Amino acid sequence: MGGMLALALPPGKGPHLVGCTDVMVGHTQQGLFLRLFYPCLPQAGAAQPLWIPRSEYCGGLADFALGRRWCSALISIAVGSCRVPVSWNGPLKPHSHGYPLVIFSHGLGAFRTLYSSVCTELASWGFVVAALEHRDHSAATTYFCTAEDGREEWIPFQQVPPGQKEFYFRNKQVHQRAEECVRALRLFTDIASGKSVPNLLCQDLDLSMLKDNIDLTKVVVMGHSFGGVTAVLALVKEPRFRCAVALDAWMFPLENVLYPEVPKPVLFINTEKFQTPEGVAKMKRLSSRNSQTKIITVLGTVHESQTDFAFLPGKLISLIFGARGTLNPHKALTITIQAVLAFLQRHLNLEEEFHQWDDLLEGVGDSVVPEAPFCRSNL
């Protein structure tokens, strides 16, 4: 493993240590698969989980990012042994009132672990974060285990079929993704009500530990890119989501008729290089209806700046995933998280000091601006 290429994901900067486990429920595609990040107690000799959990995901990334399967081995050599700085199956730190819950939706061609930096950071500030792996063929790859023999059925990434309009294909996907976010909330409701929820991955961690440790009156849905627009749609489908956070949302797949239906506030945190005027106009439609909806842009960032890829050094990664942002990725992550925490303080009525970062919600601060002044045109 060349030190030059090592991924150095940052540990959370909040007051809590972070634990992590994988959860799969149900034996069909209609079940759920997610990675759970949560505040945990110290544990001697705790293992750290792999960032890319299995080699199949390297193949999926190679296909999605490059359309070149041979790069799978290259990705595997570069990042295959990288680990996330969290405690695998670490013991949950109990909370007298329960932690707020974040359901997180990944972007196109991603999967449940590629936002570990954001999820770890949120967990370190006192949230339980459920990072879904979507089964709408938008993940680089994913799988479920059948009931008969526990065989793995893999669900590959799918391009828009020839002859099909992209909007209709993506719109169907975004509805499936939002439904998966709603099902994830139902899963945690079941756990909280004391129902036994078997985790097919047979981890050492019993999900019933969450029973009295999640506050289901404080639930938010969040995502990046395709996951950002998924979060907006989930607000329409599930009234128990109090608000949404959309990182560089790809607004294209959402049908226009739904915009008047979005009832709750959304925080849009955009990167400097990704948005189009059309996408921003859609965000502004929502902010014109709800004064609590905020749009800010982080300067010096590109679309991948809000993923773990921002922390990959080396020319190889620039080669695979395109240009890097000019803003230091640690600083970009700090700005993003502080803005999210200030927003959640406001809309989940948290008893924290996160309002100290309220200025960021108005686009005031180093490396942030209000709205999205620099979005590229569709030339």
Catalytic status, residue 355: no
Q: Rounded to the nearest 5 degrees, what angle is found at the Cα of 114, between the Cα atoms of 104 and 126?
A: 50
Give the largest Cα separation in the chain, rounded. Answer: 56
Position 201, amino acid: L
CA distance 114 to 308: 6
Query: Measured between alpha carbons, how far apart are the two ends of the chain, in Å?
Result: 42
- Active-site option among 303, 305, 308, 367: 303
Residue 145: C-alpha distances to residues 26, 27, 100, 142 (Å): 8, 5, 30, 11
- Active-site option among 248, 305, 308, 367: 248
CA distance 9 to 22: 19
User: Residue 226's closest CA among 180, 285, 289?
Assistant: 180
- Active-site option among 72, 117, 225, 305: 225
Catalytic status, residue 225: yes
CA distance 119 to 188: 17
Catalytic status, residue 248: yes
Residue 319: C-alpha distances to residues 7, 40, 81, 190 (Å): 15, 37, 20, 45
Residue 239: C-alpha distances to residues 103, 134, 182, 284, 322 (Å): 14, 21, 10, 22, 38
Is residue 197 exposed (0-12), middle (13-18) or buried (19+ Cβ within 10 Å)?
middle
Q: Which residues are known to be catalytic?
A: 225, 248, 303
